A and B are shown apart, each in its own frame.
Chain A
Amino acid sequence: MNSRLNISLGRLRLQNPIIPASGTYGFGLEFAKLYDINCLGALCIKGTTVQPRYGNPSPRIAETEAGMLNSVGLQNPGVDKVTADILPRLRAVYHQPIVANISGFSIEEYVQLAKQMSDAEQVELIEVNISCPNVHNGGMAFGTDPSAAAEVTAAVKAVSDKPVFVKLSPNVTDITRIAIACEQAGADGLCLINTLLGMRIDLRTRKPVLANKYGGISGSCIFPLALRMVNQVSRVCQIPVIGCGGISTASDVIEMMMAGASAVEIGAANLTDPYVCMNIINELPQLMDKLGIDNLSDIIGITAR
């Protein structure tokens, strides 16, 4: 372990800032076959809902320059199965903090999910997803209105013993308004950004590539946009921010932290390079030497100051 990589998210200490993002790492078990996933700072599990969900019709995946679109629609086995069957299997191979990403279709569902996940062993952080663009009547509906975002945040905060981070949508006019509303409602931190809503058309069939028509864009093409939003939010909020969106190299990590992120989530890059999180963790110390950085915690928001 290299203490130069240590960072804090509020009262939670991580050995490094690298967290695989929800939906790109499953429940960690496939990656545990490839490398020792205990090298991670934390691990964010697949977004979990109260009821099991099949998700959207296929095709759910499309490609774009330097990125991809997905319209998975929160396919997951439901919170009971996740806490009873899957998390124990993860805990058998993984001993660092687990981030539980939760998605509700009502305030009551968010509250139930937060209670169950907050009670789950080794879950050290609740990530409240109010930004999934692929489901109707839920997800992003809470993330595009400051008062709805605040209401979810306060309700989850009231029942959770674990720190509550809210995952924000970039599909808004001014992300800082949502961020400030969540902070004022008691959020312990923020995570941004979720995917951007996009579309591709198959020129031969003249129909959308995705069966669900629209899907969330991720991958390196969204990095500058995510960086800008992290910078804007970290300038107006006091709570820690997890930067997410298009990060695929150690230098992206440094850049995102300079913009204001205390930790980062790696998303789509895990799908194309399954070893990317491990490689970034291994490469960070050397890159820090080259850039004259003693400790990663020194550079958080250095560009925003």
Chain B
Amino acid sequence: MQQLRFDISHNEPLTRDIFRMWLICRSEAGCRALKSVQAGQFANVSINGCFLRRPISICDIDDRRICFVYKVVGKGTAAMSEMKQGEELDILLPLGTGFNADNAGERPLLVGGGVGVPPLLLLARQLISAGKETTVVLGFNTKQDIILADEFRSMGCNLTIVTVDGSEGQKGFVTNALRLTDAGHNHTYYYACGPVAMLKALQKELGISGELSMEERMGCGFGVCMGCTCNTQDGARQVCTDGPVFDSRQLIL
């Protein structure tokens, strides 16, 4: 973990309440920190006027830049959405334990729900460049909520879109779509991030091992306040350091 300063280069709405922010790192130390980022890790962003930092999943990185795709859910993220190009942010990163791409096997399945989709993008990029046959199933409430579909498609993922109201792609939840499309795919492993109800359903229905990314309100984001505890087969674990990504069979949801 390092405390770094970044400059906002873009901040744009993707949907009515989801925004994408690209930030440029000023220092060489920061660029080195970016290189060490593991897909599924997060950053803790300091926001003027808010006491606590805001934990935001890392959607993408390149040599000097980092990308957050975040949903406006309260005061902090609303303030983020109004920030302009050139503004500076104080960020702690990288934080937490991310996805382990080494577990993927040859035909990994990635499942994302709503604002749980962003951390899967960096993972998909890694898996595709490692030559994996990568299937991605993304669920949203409605057509207007769809994010990052073009990004997943253009990198060569086998993409299925699901909407609850059927306004785009298959109708229903990701689990409905998986029941229909999963047969014959013979997925080797899965990675998922999204609402707890979705993670629970996947844990129950998918007969393969996988990793689930959790979300929780955090105090510190680096393992000292015990604010973001979840329950596992091994007892209490911290979402911020032991997670946010956990072995699907360890997590008690």
Task: List residues of A whose CB falls within 8 A of some B CB.
Answer: 23-26, 30-31, 33-34, 46, 52, 54-55, 58-68, 70, 72, 75-76, 209, 219-220, 268, 270-272, 274-275
Contact = CB atoms under 8 A, between A and B. Distances in A.
A52 B236 CA distance: 10
Interface string B120-138: 0000000000000000000
Nearest to A74: B226
Closest 9 CB pairs of A and B: A26-B224, A271-B220, A61-B227, A59-B217, A75-B226, A61-B217, A72-B226, A271-B219, A61-B219
B225 A272 contact: no
A303 B126 CA distance: 62
Contacts of A61: 52, 217-219, 225, 227-228
B224 A30 contact: yes
Interface in B202-228: 216-220, 222-228
B236 A67 contact: no
Given A52-B235, A58-B229, A58-B230, 4 more contacts: A24-B224, A66-B51, A70-B219, A76-B226
B217 A54 contact: no
B3 A275 contact: yes
Nearest to B225: A271
A14 B220 CA distance: 27
A133 to B, nearest CB: 15
B72 interface: no
A75 B52 contact: no
B223 A30 contact: yes
Nearest to B235: A54
Contact of B51 (A58, A72, A75, A219): A219
Interface of B: 1, 3, 46, 50-53, 75, 92, 216-220, 222-231, 235-236, 241
B225 A70 contact: yes
Contacts of A31: 224
Contacts of B219: 61, 68, 70, 268, 271
A219 B220 CA distance: 13
A63 B50 contact: yes
Interface of B is mostly: loop
Contacts of A268: 51, 219
B222 A60 contact: no
A275 B227 CA distance: 19
A65 B223 CA distance: 23
Contacts of A63: 50-52, 75
A61 B54 CA distance: 12
Contact of B216 (A59, A65, A68, A209): A59
Contacts of A72: 225-227, 229
A63 B218 CA distance: 10
B90 to A, nearest CB: 9
Contact of A60 (B52, B53, B217, B223): B217
Contacts of A271: 52, 219-220, 224-225
B136 to A, nearest CB: 29
Most chain A beta carbons < 10 A, residue from B51, B52, B75, B226 = B226
Nearest to B220: A271
Contacts of B46: 272
Nearest to A269: B51
B199 to A, nearest CB: 15
Given A30-B223, A63-B52, A274-B92, A54 B231 contact: yes
A58 B224 contact: no
B3 A274 contact: yes
A220 B53 CA distance: 15
Contacts of B235: 52, 54
A66 B52 CA distance: 9
18 contacts: A26-B223, A30-B224, A54-B231, A55-B236, A58-B230, A60-B217, A63-B51, A65-B51, A68-B51, A68-B52, A75-B226, A76-B226, A270-B224, A271-B224, A272-B52, A272-B53, A272-B220, A274-B92
A272 B226 contact: no
A55 B46 CA distance: 27
Contacts of A64: 51
Contacts of B227: 60-61, 70, 72
Given A62-B217, A270-B220, A274-B3, A24 B225 contact: yes
A111 to B, nearest CB: 25
B214 to A, nearest CB: 10
A268 to B, nearest CB: 8
A277 to B, nearest CB: 12
A59 B217 CA distance: 6
Given A61-B218, A275-B3, A55 B224 contact: no
Contacts of B230: 58
B218 to A, nearest CB: 6
A96 to B, nearest CB: 18
Nearest to A23: B225
A33 B1 contact: yes
Contacts of A55: 226, 229, 236
Nearest to B216: A58
Nearest to A215: B227
Contact of B222 (A23, A30, A68): A30
